A and B are shown apart, each in its own frame.
Chain A
């Protein structure tokens, strides 16, 4: 059974703080890892798709890294803003099964 774990489960930070979350996944059977941002009462919004070990991607103040050998990805937010408040989901695409396995998400709350 493929299991994707995210930590922490929730995070409260002050505006301007930088923060990071972890997504852990089984390193075997890796095909791709997706990060999504999901605001309450909206639909998930794609942030990054990562495929290669050592990948680093950046979008504004948000960046992500990938280590497929040890099975983890980090998502960083620099200088958090209240509008960054959302649940951040990582999704493993397991190549052999073609299935998509969602992590439980990290709920970020940024206090002004």
Chain B
């Protein structure tokens, strides 16, 4: 158990809809990272937050947004969903900066019908 909790575990929705994925980091971790793993692809870094502020941005679409709240949990919002957004979305947390190991949640599997 990594200590990182992601909800929901599975999500099925339709094209054009909007969903919110939630991540609770390990106790004491200040950094939260979001990743996308599409079918037959590796992990793609989406975005990082550190103590409530956006720290780094990867290949995140404009239809996607994220935030980190004062209690350090984070949400990833995906809107105007397309079939290609079907993927496994991982959240990871680390103690502070980028030289700390990241601890991954079990992921949220999003299926777009």
A51 to B98, CA, bound (A): 10
Q: Which residues of chain A have C-beta atoms less than 8 A from B44's C-beta?
A: 102
Interface residues on A, range: 20 to 34
Q: Max chain A CB contacts within 10 Å: which of B42, B56, B103?
A: B42
Q: How far is the CB of A100 from chain B (nearest CB, A)?
A: 4
CB pair B101 A100 closer than 8 Å: no
- Of residues 75 to 98 in A, which have CB atoms within 8 Å of B's CB atoms? 89, 93, 97-98
Interface residues on B, range: 20 to 34
Q: Max chain A CB contacts within 10 Å: which of B33, B44, B45?
A: B45
B8 sits at the interface (CB 8 A): no
CB pair A100 B33 closer than 8 Å: yes
CB pair A46 B102 closer than 8 Å: yes
A71 sits at the interface (CB 8 A): no
Q: Which residues of chain B have C-beta atoms less than 8 A from A42's C-beta?
A: 106
* Contact pick for A32, options B43, B92, B99, CB 8 Å: B99
Q: How far is the CB of B56 from chain A (nearest CB, A)?
A: 4
Q: Which residues of chain B have C-beta atoms less than 8 A from A45's C-beta?
A: 2, 104
Interface of A is mostly: strand
Given A43-B106, A100-B45, does the pair A49, B56 have CB atoms closer than 8 Å?
no
B25 sits at the interface (CB 8 A): no
* Contact pick for A31, options B45, B98, B102, CB 8 Å: B98
Q: A100-B56, A102-B44, A102-B45 are in contact. List 16 more A-B contacts (CB 8 A).
A: A31-B99, A32-B99, A43-B104, A43-B107, A44-B90, A44-B92, A45-B104, A46-B103, A49-B100, A93-B99, A97-B56, A98-B48, A98-B56, A98-B98, A99-B57, A103-B42
- Give B contacts to A, CB under 8 Å: 2, 33, 42-45, 48, 55-58, 90, 92, 98-107
